[in-house]
Amino acid sequence: MGSALASDRVHLPDTVRTAAKILIVGHFAVGKTTFVGTLSEIRPLRTEETMTQAGAEVDDLAGIQGKSTTTVAMDFGRLTLSDRLVLYLFGAPGQKRFTRLWKDMTYGALGALVLADTRRLDQSFDIMGLLEEHGVPYAVAVNHFDGAPAYPDEEIREALDLLPETPLVTCDARDDASSTRALIALVQYLQTRIAEESA
């Protein structure tokens, strides 16, 4: 599947002066590859491989229907925000066996968007813990899955033990407008943090 925003714009304009690295993270099968593909203006780089029986012993497929591939390194996409600013989106694999690679991806990251699934909220704790360990600020986006239970934001905040200032939004990783709103929530949060640190 190609990017919904993919265009002929392969090369960056000469006017671009600032690039920011944003991580798209979350547990296994939460929609990271879809999210990056939806927003990337270029054909996203994907490192998906077919899942095998050997992987079934380490990847929890409970509650996941029709999952046949998995990211084994990263997803990569690009989104130009203005004639001077571009975001590079790095989707990290969600399985614990890729933790070392995942940690390396945090270097130089301005922030992260944590995708979560209401059916498996507990699986988000390890991901958020790694971000906190490496000092990467983040926002949480609850990704919509057909048939998944919906809860009020305050219940999700409590379940995830989020700080009051941590943004919490809902999105559908398949929809560009919804995914854009989630990314905007993260970027606005990061801008606020930078302004506060500069003051």
**pLDDT confidence band for 1 (50 / 70 / 90):** very low
Mean pLDDT of 21-34: 93
Beta strands in 123-186 (DSSP E): 138-143, 168-171
**The model's pTM:** 0.81
Contact by Cβ (8 Å): 9, 43: no
Locate 167 and state its tokens.
């943004």
Amino acid, single-letter form, for residue 40: S
Decide if pLDDT at 35 tops 90. yes
Exposed, middle or buried by CB within 10 Å (0-12, 13-18, 19+), for 174? Answer: middle
**Tokens 């571009």 map to which residue?**
86
As a whole number, mean pLDDT of residues 175-198 equals 95
pLDDT tens for residues 53-77?
A: 555 555 555 555 554 555 445 789 9
pLDDT confidence band for 115 (50 / 70 / 90)? very high
What value does the mean pLDDT of the chain take?
A: 84
